[in-house]
Structure 1
Amino acid sequence: MNQYEVLRQNHLNDYLQLTRKYNLLSAVRLAVVLGSIVGFYDYFQADRFASLWIALFLAALFLVLIKIHDKISWNRKVKKTLVGINEDELAYLSHTAIPFEDGTDKIDPAHAYAYDLDIFGKNSLFQHLNRTATWIGKTKLAELLLSLLPNTAIHANQAAVKELAEKINWRQDVLALGKLISDSREAYDKLVDWSKNQGKEMAHIWVLAMYVSPMVLIGAFIGFIATKNTAFGDTAVVLFLLNLGILIVLNKQIRLEIVNLDKVSEIIRMYGLILEKIGQENFEADRLNALKNKLQDGTGTASVQIKKLSALFANLDSIQNGLAAILFNGVFLYHAHVLRRLLQWKKAHSAQIPVWLDVIGEIETLNSLANFSCNNPAFAFPELNDRFEIEFRRLGHPLLPQEKRVCNDVDFNVHPFMILTGSNMSGKSTFLRTLGINMILAGAGAPVCATQARVHPLNVLVSMRLSDSLSDSESYFFAEVKRLKGIMNALGTRNCFVLLDEILRGTNSDDKRSGTLGVIKKMVAHHAIGAIATHDLEVCLIADDYPDTLVNRCFEVEIIDDELVFDYTLRAGICKNKSATFLMKKMEII
């Protein structure tokens, strides 16, 4: 937390210093403008050339000051954003807020584990991890949490995350640039769709006219000025109108290129700045260098090309600026030249746009995992294997505050499947989610909430939180049966990590017991690894029939001074204590 406070204070000091410069420069600009006006006024009133030269000098100085002012304004925005980034981290680590997008729009109750394990939504894994700012970054992070990478890719991610965890200033700089973009799925889709729609090249006759007509017009105008011959003047006027006619013909093609892309040039410029940040950084991890190498297409870096595209869009969009557009196009066919350069750029580089944007998304995703690692230095990167060996030392729930977190040793190597018992509120469901979330983190290349871990990354299948579906006329029980059917089908094709919490709650006790026993037998037959939580202690007896596969574990509760006391410590054996009747009596329900 101290590092974020130091960074916040440093950026705040820089912001305040830039603000003072910004205000001072604003006053100087105003004085220069007033001085220039006075100079021009004095020249026209008193015909003093000295006043004219002073006025021209001040006018030129004003243009320089505008550029300096704009640069200071930009740096000020960046610093203010960096202050906010560190304030967010401080609020997060102090558990006063989780000021990050939660991915609620990605909740899918039908997914194999995302809904059950709270991968998305308020206080979800996504929200705790998310340090992305672009739409593609959020999408890539979500995709990573919903997929299982091969071991080689996980190793590559681990190396990248370890390296980026040490680059806190660079990570925050990338995030700050992203936050300055008003990015959205709509803006992303518009840009990608534009890149895939190859417009037709400009006709040769228009290309010839673009160069010849302005040159002849300018020559005719100079001739008129020099000779006062009205023939030259008439020629210039005709060519001026002809150029406007040419632009009217090309206007449809111009509109096709910029349709639905209004205001996107600033977003593209920000993409370019992020790509520049990536391209300029030196990396050691192969994964990071592979991403960086995608920013070279043989004709220059991605950042340079994206900045050119941004400028071209901005210039082409200026066709809507009325009088100025008429003047510049009537003389120079300005927007026709911009259109041609845009079409040339599109032909040469448009295929790379999705690739370059994907790089931004991948970097933001890795930055998110790196931030998670940086905030939790005690978390371990798991040692991977392909021998179905899974064990954790001091495993805890990564989203719980450290002071509230209870950690346990878990080993699935001797007994691959666990039958978990315990009274209500003893921690069974939290423990199952602890297992699931840490398996997801391990499969993404992130550190896990354990002091040591050996993991064979597997597909995770969960049945914990289901609901009635009125729209599908589907009961809770039938929804659960469908989920269990999906789990069995998946187990028939590959080994999986399975977590089941008190299944078949929608039926009577005998039916529930026989069904649960049948499911456990299927788990054994399919070589599943994982755990099932149950309140039915008779179910636990099946472990005697499969001593090499099944093991009983439990969470206990004690009654001390007429109060329930939970220690959330995983124990061997079957739960012996009960709490429901005691609690109901204590609350005078029975």
Structure 2
Amino acid sequence: MLRQRGKFSIYDYLHLLDQEKKRSNGKHYLLLFLLILSLVCCIFSVSGAPLFLVGMICVNMITYFQEKGRSDAYLSVFYYVLRLLGEAEKLERIHHERLQETFDLELQELHQAIQSLSAFRRGSSILMSSARMSGSGNPLDLLVDYLRILTHIDLIKCNQMFSELKEHREDVDCLHEKIGRMEVPLSIACFRASLKEGWSIPRWEDGGELTITGAYHPLLQHPVKNSIRCQKNILITGSNASGKSTFLKTIALCSLLAQTIQTVPAESYCAPIFRIFSSMTLRDDLEGGDSYYMVEIKALKRVIDESKKGGNKVLCFVDEVLRGTNTVERIAASTEILRYFSQENVLCFAATHDIELTGMLNDVYDYYYFEGDITENDIHFHYHLQAGVAKTRNAIQLLKLMGYETEIVERAETMAQRFLKEGVWRE
């Protein structure tokens, strides 16, 4: 329902508010009184009244803009608290017997907090109108803005809301906590109801293996379920678009959901508690000055450093190991990094197109692959995980299916076949 606004959380703003002293409206009431007095003097044609009125208008405008900057700094926290009150009232209005029984105490405390903050919300539209917050250019809204400048009614209301918020600071904490305590189980229940393919509660075994049956990705409309039992680290091969990355994301998501909300999109999940890391969907960092390869090796180094700290086993997911560098060094470095993972406190799931890796990690990795049926005019993927190493390629075939010129496709295929036979690249 609620989310963080900008870079700062609600408690960053509330902490600043706690450090501020209450503000008096005496100055604003005095200026408003003098403005009204100058108008009355003009009505009764008192000598010097027009000059008095012009002077008060100028003083009020100058004072308004001096004070407005300080007031605007708290609009975000006011807006957030008003939203909290709105969401709390929505929860109160839900007439569901099971909900009211489960959250009876929370609902009572929410009601008390809403009542305590009623003065804070009363008349808040003077300061927090939707037109003003959105910067509306409506002529009537502009007229109201001029009225605010002359009368300081929004500054007066801001100081009142500020004082109310400081006085009822504990009620704001109560709203935040109770809404959160209700939202979390309700959100989990809604998520579970949305999992049409089913879900399970994880089973924990310290020092045991990761075993998942019937795992699927909840964002896919027609997911294919897969199962795996990890006795060693896992290296996955397969042709392009065959499902390698999706499988890694599925297992990562299952593990993360298991350890956070006890809800797994799978038929069963059994594992110890992991520290979960990933090196997936990386991109170069222009602002930080890091190339794609630098981003990759930093992500992998983070996993290595974490594995040395002891504690729970690290579960890491690596998609396309070191794809950002040349073939020779990629295979050499990838082999040693993946082997190092097997020696440390790490369970690694890695996906690669480098079939060469499968000949050097037999003792420490189990191999799985995804494959599809390639025909003259189409490729059909099964998305079923199979034990072993992929034996087919489809990168050049995909060029053909995407409409690349025949000359490009045929020459590329000829070069690839020649390299496979002779081990040398040449046209």
TM-score tier by shorter-chain length is: 0.5 to 0.7
Letter in 1 for 2:247: F
Q: Which residue of 2 aligns with 1:410?
A: 228
Q: Distance in 2 between matches of 1:257 and 1:263?
A: 12
**In 1, distance between residues paired with 2:261 and 2:294?**
36
String of CA shifts for 1:179-226, please: whole Å, max 9, x gaps: xxxxx88995897367424424879xx9xxxxxxxxxxxxxxxxxxxx
Find the residue that maps to 1:544 and give its secondary structure.
Answer: coil
Work out the CA distance in 2 between the residues paired with 1:427 and 1:339: 56
SS at match of 1:135: coil
Over 3 Å counting, the alpha-carbon distance change for 1:196 and 1:576 in structure 2 is same
How far residue 498 of structure 1 moved from its aligned partner, in angstroms, is 0.8
Which residue in 2 is equivalent to 1:555?
370
Q: Is the 8 A contact 2:79 2:128 kept in 1?
A: no
Q: Determine whether 1:135 maps to 2:3.
A: yes
Q: Provide the TM-score with structure 2 as the length reference.
A: 0.65
On the 8 A contact 2:202/2:258 being kept in 1, the answer is: no
Matched, 1:274 2:107: no
User: Is 2:384 the partner of 1:569?
Assistant: yes
Query: Separation in 2 of the partners of 1:429 and 1:302?
Result: 48
Q: Does the 8 A contact of 2:117 with 2:164 survive in 1?
A: no
Whole-Å Cα distance in 1 between the matches of residues 83 and 397 of structure 2? 61
Deviation at 1:401, TM superposition (A): 0.5
Question: Which one-letter code corresponds to 2:394 in the other structure?
Answer: S
Opposite residue 577 of structure 1, the aligned amino acid is T
CA contact (8 A) 1:268 1:307 kept: no
Q: Decide whether the 8 Å contact of 2:214 with 2:225 is kept in 1.
A: yes
Query: For residue 192 of structure 1, what is the aligned residue in structure 2?
Result: 14
The answer on whether the counterparts of 1:460 and 1:497 sit within 8 Å (CA) in structure 2 is yes
1:397 is aligned, of 207, 217, 240, to 217
What is the CA–CA distance in structure 2 between the aligned matches of 1:444 and 1:496, rounded to whole Å?
A: 16
Q: Which residue among 527, 536, 555 is the counterpart of 2:354?
A: 536
197 and 421 in structure 1: CA distance in 2 versus 1, 3 angstrom threshold: same
Alignment RMSD: 4.5
1:279-358 equivalent positions in 2, closer than 5 A:
289=103, 292=106, 295=109, 301-311=112-122, 313=124, 345-358=164-177
Alignment partner of 1:434 out of 250, 254, 269: 250
- 1:425 paired to 2:241: yes
Alignment of 1:420-569 (within 5 A): 420-445=236-261, 447-493=263-309, 494=311, 495-546=313-364, 550-560=365-375, 563-569=378-384
The total of aligned residue pairs comes to: 349
Task: Select between 362-371 and 519-528 the one with higher mean Cα deviation.
Answer: 362-371
Are the structure 2 counterparts of residues 376 and 340 from structure 1 closer, same or farther at C-alpha, using a change threshold of 3 Å? closer
CA distance 1:584–1:273, shift in 2 (3 Å): closer
In the alignment, the residues of structure 2 paired with residue 583 and residue 201 of structure 1 have an alpha-carbon distance, to the nearest angstrom, of 69
TM-score scaled by length of structure 1: 0.49
Counterpart mapping for 1:20-99 below 5 A? none
Asked if the contact 2:209–2:272 (Cα under 8 Å) also holds between the matched residues in 1, the reply is: yes
- Once the two structures are TM-superposed, the CA of residue 528 in structure 1 deviates from its matched residue by 1.4
> Do the aligned residues in 2 keep the contact of 1:198 with 1:347 (CA within 8 Å)?
no
AA partner of residue 491 (structure 1): S
What is the CA deviation profile of residues 150-197 of structure 1, one whole-angstrom value per residue up to 9, with x for unaligned ones? xxxxxxxxxxxxxxxxxxxxxxxxxxxxxxxxxx88995897367424
Q: Distance in 1 between matches of 2:295 and 2:159?
A: 58
Closer, same or farther: CA 377–558 of 1 in aligned 2, 3 Å: closer
- For 1:522 and 1:492, the matched residues in 2 are separated by 11
Letter in 2 for 1:541: G
Aligned to 1:80: none
Q: Distance in 1 between matches of 2:319 and 2:128?
A: 58
- SS in structure 1 opposite 2:117? helix
> What amino acid maps onto 2:355 in structure 1?
L
In structure 2, relative to structure 1, the CA distance for the partners of 1:432 and 1:193 (3 Å cut) is same
- Larger mean CA deviation between 385-394 and 361-370 belongs to 361-370
Q: Provide the secondary structure at the position in 1 that maps to 2:362.
A: helix
Per-residue CA deviation, residues 66-89 of structure 1 (Å, 9 max, x unaligned), is: xxxxxxxxxxxxxxxxxxxxxxxx
Query: What are the Cα deviations for residues 284-315 of structure 1, in whole angstroms up to 9, with x where unaligned?
Result: 79xx759928946xxx7112123231116568
Unmatched 5+ stretches in structure 2: 27-59, 130-143, 411-427
Q: Identify if the C-alpha distance between structure 1 residues 530 and 316 changes in structure 2 by more than 3 Å, giving closer, same or farther.
A: closer
Q: Percent identity?
A: 22
Shift of 1:484: 1.2
SS at match of 2:256: helix
- What is the identity, as a one-letter code, of the residue corresponding to 1:449? P
Q: 1:202-221 alignment to 2 at 5 Å?
A: none
| Alpha-carbon distance between aligned partners in 2 of 1:321 and 1:190, rounded to the nearest angstrom | 32
Write the distance in 1 (CA, Å) between the matches of 2:376 and 2:16.
70
**CA–CA separation in structure 2 for the residues paired with 1:265 and 1:488:** 45
